[in-house]
Amino acid sequence: MIKRYSRKELVDIWSEENKYKIWLDVEISAAQAMEKLNLIPKGVSSLVKKRARINVKRIHAIEKNVKHDVIAFLSSLTEKAGIKARYLHQGMTSSDVLDTSFNIQLVQSGKILIKDIDSILQILKRQANKHKFTPCIGRSHGIHAEPITFGLKLASFYEEFKRNRRRLQSAIYEVSTCAISGAVGTFANINPKVESFVSKKLKLRPEPISTQIIPRDRHAYYFSILGIIAGSIERVATEIRHLQRTEVYELQEFFSKSQKGSSAMPHKKNPILSENLTGLSRMIRSYVTPALENIALWHERDISHSSVERNIGPDANITLDFALNRLADILKNIVIYPKKMHSNLNLTRGLVFSQEVMLELIKSGISREKAYRLVQKHSKTSFLKKIDLIDLIKKDKIISKHMSENKINSIFKHDKHFKNINFIFNRVFKK
């Protein structure tokens, strides 16, 4: 991923230096296990640990000749550690190192993404409680529906990111496996106890059955969850973009003192950060399909998945980390306009209370069909002629026979729509 959309913590995880460091940890751990089992001479692991140095340039130089990244890596270790380094990698295949290391990078990334989500949850909770009873219009199909509160919008986002946190924890668990089982997963040339030792040491679980590789359904699941989280980010971003439109303008992204909007139009304050998140979310979701297609590999292994993972591994995780942090910043500093929310709430002259009028008529003995027709007729007139719906309802002789004026007045109030806000909040934010 480009620097513009990257944070150092995730970039470091997917750096060449960290990758080779993990490879070294895997090889040393395996050597330690083999020493305990008297499969290789004592002291190999400690010698390699003491003398080995990660030299990315040297590894790449060797790889140019041998055309194999793991062999190049092992050769570079031998140059530093000496002849005893030949005991490394005994009975192992390249994928034992590559797959175990890749999973560690995913786990490392996933743990940071969990922290990112936690930050968003904290901000959403704080903002939701702040605007718990800030009235605004709820929209269905983009059309005014019935009153809600802005806090409810935020609480909905909070609950979704709670689910995302659980999903990501599950995905991290899914890829927390280790395979040190040899060329086709049969342990033909390596003791299964080596895998157990390495798994425990690296805080992973032994892969129950591998081929030459760890099955890619695990990774497909992980990247699918990243895609879902990206979808949640875009949901919030889309809401902000719509509510910042000039005609609506119920909120806006924070606009700093020296910030510029349009290069041509000085008056503009554009929701550029939310638009950016929309684009980044699309990119993250685009990585899901190749991850799914990696599941079906030839026989015990081919390398068609390798080039895919070299791209989507860093890009999906780095981009999602950036997007989550950007979203947190937007939500933390967002500017809310309660007066405009209230103004928009009243924009349709009481049409938002049509359902309650209809329900009261039904309760009074009028059929649902007739009640619907009556209210719909007055709603159309209210909208077209810009007359308050309450006035039309009060003048209707049929309705007046079934509802008193006091009853009609009680219907056209926002407060009754908020009577269960605390109930909903208690369900969402319960400990």
Instruction: Judge whether 84 lies within some domain.
Output: no
363, 390: one domain = yes
pLDDT digits 0-9 by tens, 389-403: 999 999 999 999 999
Q: Are residues 268 and 397 in the same domain?
A: no
Residue finishing a domain among 318, 342, 366? 342
Residue 390 lies in a domain: yes
Rounded distance between C-alpha atoms, residue 151 and residue 421, angstroms: 9
The Cα–Cα gap between 15 and 22 comes to 11
To the query of whether residue 262 is one of the catalytic residues in this protein, the response is yes
pLDDT on residue 254: 83
Same domain, 124 and 221: yes
Decide if 429 is inside a domain: no
Same domain? For 184 and 333 the reply is: yes
The mean per-residue pLDDT over the stretch 239-252 comes to 95
Pair 301, 380 in one domain: no
What string of DSSP letters covers 210-249?
-SSS--THHHHHHHHHHHHHHHHHHHHHHHHHHHTSTTT-
CATH code at 147? 1.20.200.10
Question: Is 152 in a helix, a strand, or coil?
Answer: helix
**CA distance linking residue 403 with residue 231, whole number of Å:** 46
Whole-model pTM? Answer: 0.93
Phi then psi for residue 337, to 5 deg, are -120, 85
Distance CA 224, CA 174 (A): 12
Q: Does 322 share its domain with 260?
A: yes
Is residue 86, in this structure, part of any structural domain at all?
Answer: no
Number of domains comprising the chain: 2
Query: Of the residues 46, 60, 68, 262, which is catalytic?
Result: 262
Mean pLDDT, rounded, for 366-377: 94
369 and 239 within one domain: no
Average pLDDT over residues 281-296: 96
How confident is the model at residue 410, as a pLDDT?
93
- C-alpha distances (whole Å) from 354 to each of 108, 350, 367, 373 are 53, 8, 16, 11
Residue 25 lies in a domain: no
> Across all residues in the chain, what is the average pLDDT?
94
Domain that includes residue 225, residue range: 3-10+92-342
pLDDT value of residue 162: 98
Same domain membership, residue 338 and residue 357: no
pLDDT per residue as tens digits for the range 12-48: 999 999 999 999 999 999 999 999 999 999 999 999 9
384 and 309, same structural domain?
A: no
Residue 22 lies in a domain: no
Confidence of residue 255 (pLDDT cuts 50, 70, 90): confident
Active site residue 141: yes
Confidence at residue 13, expressed as pLDDT on a 0 to 100 scale: 97
Residue at a domain's end among 342, 365, 390: 342
pLDDT confidence tier of residue 274, bands split at 50, 70 and 90: very high
Angle formed by the axes of helices 421-429 and 94-130, nearest 10°: 150
Note the pLDDT of residue 258.
Answer: 73
Residue 194 has pLDDT above 90, yes or no: yes
Domain end call among 308, 342, 376? 342
pLDDT at residue 270, as a whole number: 84
- Report the alpha-carbon distance of residue 417 to residue 50 in Å, rounded: 69
Residue position matching structure tokens 């309802």: 393
Same domain, 324 and 379: no
Of 140, 141, 256, 258, which residue is the catalytic one?
Answer: 141
pLDDT band at 101 (very low <50, low <70, confident <90, very high): very high
- Name the pLDDT band for 431 (thresholds 50, 70, 90): low
The answer to whether position 424 is within a domain reads no
Residues 315 and 268 in one domain: yes
User: pLDDT value at position 266?
Assistant: 72
Q: Is 38 part of any domain?
A: no
Q: Mean of the pLDDT values across residues 138-162?
A: 97
pLDDT at 262: 64
Q: In CATH, what number is assigned to the domain containing residue 364?
A: 1.10.40.30
Alpha-carbon Rg for the chain, nearest whole angstrom, is 30
The answer on 128 and 198 residing in a single domain is yes
Average pLDDT on 163-191 reads 97
